[in-house]
């Protein structure tokens, strides 16, 4: 059990339903006002569960490892996915934090920071020299967590949040980076 009362372990396909629940609740709470509501509505628990079952059950196109934070009663409090190498860079030596989500009732307890610290420790142990991630512009809560862990903007921007329904306006994201 970590300092913040959660246990960190690798995700398995059996976690797909719980991962989907956390993923959707964190999108709804965290992205309201930042992301087109149609995009939030399109990301249903059923769709996310199918995605997670696929991602965890089959070899992904990139090596992506997901670590989950499990609370004392067994509930999934959050997760962090790491892609090695980063999916959007033509750089075999830079890793990527592909996802960091915590169940909204558990925000502010240090779970997100603990997941991120464990991911960075793991990458350091594997001798990855740098890590990037994308954050939606205006997502101040997430940026504070990343900046505390050493991430800074590297100047890159994009509009991309996966597959969007037709007519949906995608938000700007900026890339953050930390050298390990």
Ligand X SMILES: CC(C)(COP(=O)(O)OP(=O)(O)OC[C@H]1O[C@@H](n2cnc3c(N)ncnc32)[C@H](O)[C@@H]1OP(=O)(O)O)[C@@H](O)C(=O)NCCC(=O)NCCS
Task: Look up residue 70 and give its two tokens.
Answer: 């499990």
Asked if omega into 43 is within 30° of 0 (cis), the reply is: no
Do the beta carbons of residue 65 and residue 10 sit within 8 Å?
Answer: yes
Smallest separation (angstroms) from ligand X to the CB of 79? 9
Does 30 engage in binding with ligand X (CB under 6 A)? yes
Residue (30 or 52) nearer to ligand X, CB: 30
Site size for ligand X (CB under 6 A): 19
Instruction: Report helix, strand or coil for 127.
Output: coil
Does 142 engage in binding with ligand X (CB under 6 A)? yes
Instruction: Say how many CA atoms lie within 13 Å of 33 toward its Cβ.
Output: 5
Task: Look up residue 16 and give its two tokens.
Answer: 């797909």
Q: Which helix (H) or strand (E) holds 145?
A: helix 140-148
Does 79 engage in binding with ligand X (CB under 6 A)? no
Q: Which helix (H) or strand (E) holds 110?
A: none
Smallest separation (angstroms) from ligand X to the CB of 142? 4
Residue (144 or 159) nearer to ligand X, CB: 144
Among 26, 119, 123, 131, binds ligand X (CB under 6 A): 26
The mark string for 94-123 relative to ligand X (x by CB under 6 A, - otherwise) is ------xxx----xxxxxxx----------
Residue (162 or 166) nearer to ligand X, CB: 162
Segment interacting with ligand X (CB under 6 A) among 42-50, 54-62, 138-146, 158-166? 138-146
Nearest to 76 by CA among 12, 28, 119: 12
Residue (81 or 84) nearer to ligand X, CB: 81
Please give the torsion angle defined by the CA atoms of residues 113, 83, 11 and 165, in that order, rounded to the nearest 10 degrees. Answer: 90
The residue ranges that bind ligand X (CB under 6 A) are 4, 26, 30, 100-102, 107-113, 135, 139, 141-142, 144-145
């Amino acid at each position: 059990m970590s300092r913040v009362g959660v246990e960190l372990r690798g995700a398995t396909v059996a976690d797909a339903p719980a991962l989907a629940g956390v993923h959707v609740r964190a999108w709804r709470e965290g992205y309201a006002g930042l992301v087109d509501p149609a995009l939030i509505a399109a990301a249903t628990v059923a769709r996310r569960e199918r995605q997670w079952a696929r991602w965890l059950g089959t070899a992904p196109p990139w090596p992506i490892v997901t670590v989950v934070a499990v609370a004392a009663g067994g509930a999934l409090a959050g997760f962090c996915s790491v892609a090695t190498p980063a999916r959007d860079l033509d750089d075999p030596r830079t890793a990527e934090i592909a996802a960091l989500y915590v169940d909204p009732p558990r925000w502010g307890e240090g779970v997100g920071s603990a997941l991120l610290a464990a991911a960075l420790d793991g990458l350091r142990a594997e001798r990855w020299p740098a890590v990037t991630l994308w954050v939606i512009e205006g997502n101040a809560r997430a940026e504070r967590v990343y900046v505390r862990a050493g991430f800074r903007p590297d100047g890159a921007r994009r509009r991309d949040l996966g597959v969007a329904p037709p007519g949906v306006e995608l938000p700007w994201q900026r890339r953050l980076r930390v050298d390990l």
